A and B are shown apart, each in its own frame.
Chain A
Amino acid sequence: MAEDINRDPLAGAGALWEALLALLPRTKEELKLDLSEKVERSVVMLLQEATELFYGGRRNECLQTSEAVLDYSWEKLNTGPWQDVDKDWRRVYAFGCLLKAACLCEASEDATTVAAALKVCDMGLLMGAAILGDILIKVAAILQTHLLSRKRPAQGPTQEQPSTKKARNEHVSIPDMKSERTVPRLHCPSLQYFRKHFLVPERPVILEGVADHWPCMKKWSLEYIQEVAGCRTVPVEVGSRYTDEEWSQTLMTVNEFISKYIVDEPRDVGYLAQHQLFDQIPELKQDISIPDYCCLGDGEEDEITINAWFGPQGTVSPLHQDPQQNLLVQVIGRKYIRLYSPQESEALYPHDTHLLHNTSQVGVRGTQCDMADSPPPHPVSGDQVGDLCFPQVDVEHPDLEKFPQFAEAPFLSCILSPGEVLFIPVKYWHYVRALDLSFSVSFWWS
């Protein structure tokens, strides 16, 4: 191999580098940027320069150039509502991440460097758009495998999971539901029955026997999640509820999230909420399926949005509505959920506004957050941008002097347990509180 080094600028030591090279186009001519005119000429020039530097083996210069591409495109990603950001700018960002991650790995294969490169890939996945046949997913998988094979000291605990008998559980308040109307339950209804009695009339129902045999129900545990996703970077919401002033979003690895917000009596509430984890980590996607009932909608299967909701006991999603049908699958732990029909909207005192936070700029999991490396804003949970509705009333502790009508508003409630699927009709108001360490998967479809 030694004789190649003088001739091949891309030759490098190490199996990791070889594996990465194998994923990339072999020459710079084969790396098709394919960017529309929306992307300014100067940026295309810079990106082309970066790829030339890369294939020319000039790693340090490539890193600098990629960094400039990343910084410029990041500003584009933060201009205007996320929905309006041109996809090609996100692809530019992804290209920048790809080159940067590759350059980092060419320099060194030690755990810190590879973890940093993996974080860069994750940023490209979170904020970028697919390039070169989803290459970032493949690169991330290689980096992750490399990290795990080195048995890096865990950033979080790998030994015990918190037992359900942990002291904290004593403080959880299980709602007294004797006086509440509960969501009806069905065992494996046919598609037609479901459509006729629940989908069309827009009524919530819990489906049993539908998801309880999914692999995730047996496989998923804190340990497993750390194994499969521990070193991956994800967006985490910090703060009791996103309507609070102190609420903010931040990025961290799954290991950091578990160690900081799940085990060891966390000081703050952290919630890995509304994140398309299964696009980021395909291995986890193999543990779930798409409920058949989703095909009753008008949309295509690839238009179904699958979100992960992973957090400690006590996370709260305040009352809100989503613009699509929702099938919420419970995998770990239980959730108390309350549902109000859209017909009761008035009694819930919604108001249109963006939330103002002291420490972060947010609009209900809808708009940007405040970090320099912010992940993309979540899809607006509610109506379209400009029409965000927040019921001001706190569902489990309502101020009935301020919100008198709320006391009379009829609702359905339930405790959703592992293996169960809750159908939340489109625009149906829902409030969710985790009674235990919880992992849910939601399917949004139209």
Chain B
Amino acid sequence: MAEELPGAWFGFGFCGFGQALGSGRARRVLSPEPLRAPGAGLDVYRVSASWSYTAFVSRGGRLELAGAAGGAAGGCRDAWASEALLVLLRAGPGPEPGAELQAWAPGSALRGEPLWVHTVEAEAEGDDGPGGKPQAGPLPLLPCARAYVSPRPPFYRPLAPGLRARRLELGAEHALLLDEAGQVFSWGGGRHGQLGHGTLEAELEPRPLEALQGLPMAEVAAGGWHSVSVSETGDVYIWGWNESGQLALPTRSLAEDGKTVAGEAAGLHEGGPDVKSTAGGEDGAPTPFIAVQPFPALLDLPRGSEAVKASCGSRHTAVVTRTGELYTWGWGKYGQLGHKDTSSWDRPCRVEYFVERQLQPFLFSADQTNQKVIWEKNQTPQYIFLK
């Protein structure tokens, strides 16, 4: 049975539409701020952020939208916000335990009729969550885990029967799936190496990542064009596009700005303006820049930390560790890294805001009802639930 955990939400990043972050209409929020969800006292347990608006779902089933899209509704168990489509999982119309999937145009303010509706069958046997309610896998994966929602038609996409999906994440052109056994699958466009199969070829059907076979994964996350998975032992694997350092690998664009920190990771603020060209390794050989990493690379977090959860924006990555620290890296122009500035980083940097206040981003695994770190696919606000 789920406890009523006290906690707070914090947000930072792009806020050009007033998406209910702390400081009103500032266009970007560079450091975490306590979230003021619309409707004071709304006990928010799920937040889904799109580029221009955010959806909040409370434990009482109330949905509130903020930003470029507005509106509210009841009876919601889950919400998934994207620019093209707002997808809601609502209690079914009849007495049966099924649920109804609804897709709305964000601009509709939830008035009128949804664009389409799909009845979702009740979850498979024995998966009931706390309180006897059917367990909802976070959208875009449907509760039955046999299909998922896409922001582009066809909206309802069944998964192959043999796949037992635990979690599914969508990037700009690709999809990641984590199954019950901890195996990662990917499919979709691969032009930036985001599928992790070692090529730039697209895959039409879910294909298992051979490089990760035998390493049970606990989490997956998809950015715009990159992918992250976290193993049960806390290791982070990352692959795809690195144009802003979102893979924590040396990137040319940051080197030219004097900001790359290739090579040894020393202090947090290494890499001054004299780092113009390739940074040197210890033997003076130039470190190659990586623009695309087509198969998983193991990422070392500072201090040997173990990761428990990962999440991605379109071009940045965040990881929460077992000891409750938040690390972010990649594109930072809108403050989405939470480091009080607009720098991009090509290596993990700790978000000091939480350390300074002795707050611990708290992690639950993805299939429980409390969402941890939610990122949007774009330059985006991020929301962190704290214990």
Contact = CB atoms under 8 A, between A and B. Distances in A.
Given A41-B106, A361-B241, A370 B68 contact: no
Contacts of A45: 17, 52, 68
Nearest to B241: A361
Nearest to A372: B253
Contact of B17 (A42, A353, A360, A363): A42
B68 A42 contact: yes
Interface stretch (B176-184, B185-193, B266-274, B347-355): B185-193
Contacts of A360: 291-292
B219 interface: no
B100 interface: no
Interface string B288-316: 11111010000000000000000000110
A153 interface: no
B193 A361 contact: yes
User: In this complex, which of A42, A357, A358, A360 has the most chain B Cβ atoms within 10 angstroms of its Cβ?
Assistant: A42
A355 B201 CA distance: 10
Contacts of A80: 173, 189
B225 A42 contact: no
Given A75-B224, A80-B173, A370 B84 contact: no
Contacts of B314: 75
B291 A354 contact: no
A382 B224 CA distance: 28
Contacts of A41: 68, 106-107
A370 B292 contact: yes
A5 interface: no
B290 A358 contact: yes
Interface in B1-41: 14, 16-17, 27
Contacts of B288: 358-359
B181 to A, nearest CB: 30
User: In this complex, which of A65, A368, A372 has the most chain B Cβ atoms within 10 angstroms of its Cβ?
Assistant: A372
A71 B379 contact: yes
Contact of B199 (A248, A356, A368): A356
A367 interface: yes
Interface string A377-397: 000000000100000000000
Contact of A361 (B52, B68, B200, B334): B200
B232 interface: no
A75 B68 contact: no
B200 A354 contact: yes
A64 B27 contact: yes
A68 to B, nearest CB: 5
Interface in B306-365: 314-315, 333-334
B211 interface: no
Contacts of A248: 291
Contacts of A355: 200
Given A80-B173, A360-B291, A42 B53 contact: yes
Contacts of A68: 14, 16, 27, 379
Contact of B292 (A43, A64, A78, A357): A357
B83 to A, nearest CB: 4
Interface string A71-97: 110010011110000000000000000
Contacts of A359: 252, 288-291
A40 B69 CA distance: 12
A75 B172 contact: yes
B73 to A, nearest CB: 19
Interface string B188-225: 01011100000111100000000000000000000011
Nearest to A373: B253
Interface of A: 40-43, 45-46, 64-65, 68, 71-72, 75, 78-81, 248, 353-361, 363, 367-368, 370-372, 386
22 contacts: A42-B106, A45-B17, A45-B52, A45-B68, A68-B27, A71-B333, A72-B378, A79-B172, A80-B173, A80-B189, A248-B291, A354-B191, A354-B200, A354-B201, A356-B294, A358-B291, A359-B252, A361-B191, A361-B292, A370-B292, A372-B253, A386-B202
Given A75-B224, A371-B252, A372-B243, 6 more contacts: A42-B68, A68-B14, A75-B172, A248-B291, A361-B193, A372-B244
The 6 closest A-B pairs by CB, nearest first: A370-B291, A42-B52, A354-B200, A361-B292, A42-B68, A40-B83
Interface of B: 14, 16-17, 27, 51-53, 68-69, 83-84, 106-107, 172-173, 189, 191-193, 199-202, 224-225, 241, 243-244, 252-253, 288-292, 294, 314-315, 333-334, 378-379
